[in-house]
Structure 1
Amino acid sequence: MNCKNTQTAPPLLAVESLKVTRGDVDILKGINWRIQPGENWAILGANGCGKTTLLSAITAYRAPSSGEIHVVGETYGESDWNEIRQQLGIVSSALSQRVPSDEWAIETVLSGQSAQLGYWTREKKVDSHKALRCLGKMGVRALAKRAWGVLSQGERQKVFIARALINDPQLLILDEPCAGLDPVARERFLVSLTKLTRLKKSPAIVLVTHHVEEIIPQITHVLLLKKGKVFAAGPKREVLLQHEKMSKAFGANIHVQEDSEAQRFWMKF
């Protein structure tokens, strides 16, 4: 990703004083967060910390109770939400479960052009060659005419990322993409994700996870949430190696250790 003039370029994402309330419960409590060009982020936190609600607000599926969200210069509430969503690639296991089992992988990718699930708008002009290129970026071009129902979970995640790439998003949001993968499949997936981040025009990455070992070297920053608030945010090592903060965020006495050679982390209790 081109990192020139990142200090003066507008942020890819700016969340300002974001509050989300359900009934009389504050789920998000004044979130402030920015993603600058050249940054890739991981969002960490225990269950119930607000990760899913934050993603729903960023992707315009949940309206803020107060605060503002700006995506690549556009503001929710002032711009067309559908156009804003085209700047975002969204990969979620909840969405991937809604793909028809008999749909070919290339059709799943093509469905991303109109952000639909189920490739039913077949009369729309489509770009099959681009869909194949997107599959190729994830190393699964050979699966183009394989039915969704026979793909492994790891293959589905790669195809769904290819689907997200079809609109050339500036920001790619991955919501627990390794959920349900065995250790080998997880590492293979992370290798594919690493290769994607190294491409010349790769989007910025937001990786949502519970597991620090899934944070690939190309992730530059970490946002740590606790009870709907930003508990820590900043460069990856500065956040992950704060023993007290990490322990309080996850409600246990934990130590995050670093493999400096592999540039990976793991959690020790």
Structure 2
Amino acid sequence: MIIDIQHVSWDRNDKKILQDISWTVQSGEHWCLLGLNGSGKTTLLNMINGYIWPTEGSMSILGKKFGEFDLRELRKSIGWVSTSLQQKLYGSETALKIVLSGKFATIGLYDFTNNEDIRQAEALMKSLGCTALMDRTYDTLSQGERQRVLIARALMAAPKLLILDEPCTGLDVFAREQLLQMIAAVAAEKEAPTIIYVTHHVEEILPCFTKTLLIKEGEVFAAMDTSETLTSALMSDFFAVPVEIQRRDGRNWLSVNGELWN
């Protein structure tokens, strides 16, 4: 079991941010986590990474039960790509050093790296189309280039769980599609980690994400096969607005009043 969350709630200032969340993710599954802004997605991710503890309920991540394992060690088996991480990185560091720091889950590279580490980082960057970026500093990279570097960084420690938290934020349509193609390639690898892809855009849900968790106002709205989730009827209930889901080339596109909603 990769994720085992049972009846978890989280309160802050006497307000329930998450309420009675139950969700399980099996090894080999790739999930999309879909919810509007303020739905509780980020809180749930912080909890999975062990940065906050549930007020109620139980959690086990990668077979490690909260309260019985050093969560700092657990985080080394989780790759997390997020906008908040981008803001913490040092702009003067080269892309290669940022990727290498993923082995140690540190902001900045302070630990010793050997030739094997460097070869691994270079191979990851090559596989993700980042070879030309190795010696460039992070602050000179475009948003799309930064996301590729961060995914390479997340894969450096060979994580069992890879969380991509709205990785297409800030990308134009062409950079978005390039990044999505790269994510699909990562998911197709034989030794691919379980991937949780977080978004509030239906059109970003790739065919590899065969399971979808819908979260609304801090509660689980649905958790099942993507093919059953992304229907016009269910998504209209979820958004509380009449919408239509159109399927083209293995992707789903959402429209409101006949206009695509991106």
The answer to whether TM tops 0.5 is yes
Q: Which amino acid aligns with 2:131?
A: R
Cα deviation, 1:111-140, whole Å, max 9, x if unaligned, reads 112211122x14466711111122123121
Aligned-partner SS, 1:234: strand
TM-superposed CA distance for 1:247, in Å, is: 2.0
Secondary structure at the aligned position of 1:113 is classed as coil
Structure 1 CA distance, aligned partners of 2:26 and 2:83? 27
Q: Distance in 1 between matches of 2:233 and 2:197?
A: 23
1: CA distance between counterparts of 2:114 and 2:191? 24
1:191-232 C-alpha deviation (Å, 9 max, x unpaired): 111111111111111000010111111111000011111101
Q: TM-score, normalised by structure 2?
A: 0.93
- State the partner residue of 1:161: 151
Map of 2:259 onto structure 1: none
SS of the counterpart of 1:253?
A: coil
1:257 aligns to what?
246
Q: Check whether the contact 2:28–2:193 (CA below 8 A) recurs between aligned residues.
A: no
1:248 aligns with 2:237: yes
Structure 1, unpaired ranges of 5+:
1-10
1:195 to 170, 185, 197: 185
Question: How large is the RMSD of aligned CA atoms in angstroms?
Answer: 1.3
Alignment match, 2:71: 81
Work out the percentage of aligned pairs sharing the same amino acid.
42
Are 1:154 and 1:181, in contact at CA under 8 Å, matched by a contact in 2? yes
One-letter amino acid of the structure 1 residue matched with residue 207 of structure 2: P
* Matched AA of 1:30: D
Tell me whether 1:208 sits opposite 2:203 in the alignment: no
TM-score when normalising by structure 1 = 0.91
| Counterpart position of 1:13 | 3
Per-residue CA deviations over 1:41-87 (Å, capped at 9, x if unaligned) read 00111121111111010011111101111112111211010121112
Q: Secondary structure at the match of 2:227?
A: helix
Pairing 1:95–2:85 present? yes
1:27 Cα shift? 0.7
1:173 aligns with 2:160: no
Instruction: Point out where structure 2 has 5 or more consecutive residues left out of the alignment.
Output: 257-262
Q: Please list the CA deviations of residues 75-101 of structure 1 after superposition, one character each: whole Å capped at 9, or x if unmatched.
A: 121101012111211000111122111
For the pair 1:220 / 2:210, whether they are aligned, the reply is yes
Say if 2:9 is the partner of 1:33: no
User: Does the aligned pair in 2 maintain the 1:45–1:250 contact within 8 Å?
Assistant: no
Opposite residue 14 of structure 2, the aligned amino acid is D
Report SS of the residue matched to 1:95.
helix
1:268 aligns with 2:255: yes
**Does the CA contact (< 8 Å) of 1:232 and 1:245 recur in 2?**
no
For residues 62-77 of structure 1, the aligned pairs below 5 Å read 62-77=52-67
SS of aligned partner of 1:86:
helix
Following superposition, the deviation at residue 251 of structure 1 comes to 3.1
